[in-house]
Structure 1
Amino acid sequence: MTPIPTETSRLPGLHAAAGALGLALIASFWLSTLGAELFGTTPQIVAVKTAIPYGLVLLVPALIVAGAGGARLARDRHGPLVARKAQRMRLVALNGLLILVPSALFLAQKAAAQDFDAAFVVVQLSELAAGAINLTLLGANLRDGLRMRQGRPALR
């Protein structure tokens, strides 16, 4: 007879799924933005920039679940790898709250009005840079999380 999964046994899977969803959403926002800006028409740019805030409805909870799940999983673990993952998540959260979410809302409003002025360009470039940073940080956390799960030491 198979034992009934407990909250603790499901937590690693939930944490991994939420983290993967967050990473995938950020990557899709970033790639869609870059593609629309480089190769798209004005209506395509408007469509991408006005759709991203709707994606935040999935992204923000996914990152909250990933961060909270990671914190819970790490409460009995110590060491530099766990500390680095926690520090990266703090940076991801700050970057998202202070730069990415406000930028997405600002750019959606400007794009809906087809107001592609200098402010739009500056905020768009800032958003792409901040998004690339978050992709890098979340990718590093994914890599280190897989190492932790497999019991392998970190490379650095």
Structure 2
Amino acid sequence: MKTKIHATAGIIGFLIIGIFWTSTVLSELFGSYEDIASVKTAILQGMFILIPALMIAGGSGMVMGQRRTDIPAVSKKKRMPFIVANGLLVLVPAAIYLQSKASVGDFDGIFYTIQGVELVAGAANFILMGLNIRDGLAMTRMCRKRKKHVQ
């Protein structure tokens, strides 16, 4: 059951980050200032789903993987501090700042600088989480092979 909860929460987080990133790029390239402001507000509201999903994925992952020493597990453990720090120190503050600027129509150079940083940080987290999903699937395959050999 823990693995299903972990996988579901991780996939939800991964998809939400992808949606946030894609929505931002599309609104910046093709939308009006009002569209950008709407996307920024939606992203901020979406944090109420994203953050708990990532907390559940991270917490369950720590519990399930605390004794694992195989390469995929170790790789996931090494990536997690970067994902968390990037999220808490860059992405959340950037989302709050960008929404506050966009909501009053203040699209200046600082807005676009922070927007660029947010896009790079979001892409980094998306890639790192994708690698964690890949390694999680490898770990699942390893467990299934072990169970088949034991039977």
TM-score bucket of the superposed structures, by smaller chain: over 0.9
- Post-superposition offset of 1:42: 1.4
Once the two structures are superposed, residues 77-122 of structure 1 have per-residue CA deviations (whole angstroms, 9 ceiling, x without a partner) of 1133211101111111000000000000000000000000011000
Aligned to 1:80: 71
Deviation at 1:60, TM superposition (A): 0.7
The one-letter code of the counterpart of 1:36 is S
Q: What is the count of residue pairs matched by the alignment? A: 143
Work out the percentage of aligned pairs sharing the same amino acid: 43
Q: Which has the higher helix share?
A: 2
CA distance in 2 between counterparts of 1:52 and 1:14 reads 24
CA distance in 2, matches of 1:147, 1:125: 33
Looking at structure 2, the residues matched to 87 and 123 of structure 1 have their Cα atoms a distance apart, in angstroms, of 27
> 1:11 & 1:41 partners in 2: Cα distance?
43
TM-score normalized by the length of structure 2: 0.92
2:110 to 98, 105, 119: 119
Q: Is residue 96 of structure 1 aligned with residue 87 of structure 2?
A: yes
Unaligned runs of 5+ in 1: 1-9
Match of 1:69 among 57, 60, 83: 60
- RMSD of aligned alpha carbons: 1.0
Partner of 2:146: none
For residue 53 of structure 1, the aligned residue among 36, 39, 44 is 44
Other-structure match for 2:6: 15
Query: In the alignment, residue 83 of structure 2 is paired with which amino acid?
Result: V
Q: Aligned equivalents of 2:140 and 2:115: distance in 1?
A: 37
Alignment partner of 1:108 is 2:77: no
Range 100-109 or range 67-76, more displaced: 67-76
Q: Which aligned runs of 4 or more in structure 1 are off by greater than 6 angstroms?
A: none
Structure 2: gaps spanning 5 or more residues: 144-151
1: CA distance between counterparts of 2:141 and 2:70? 16
Paired residues of 2:68 and 2:74 also in contact (CA < 8 A): no
Q: Which one-letter code corresponds to 2:59 in the other structure? A: A
CA contact (8 A) 2:16 2:50 kept: yes
Distance in structure 1 (CA, Å) of the matches to 2:131 and 2:77:
11
Establish whether residue 131 from structure 1 lines up as the match of residue 122 from structure 2. yes
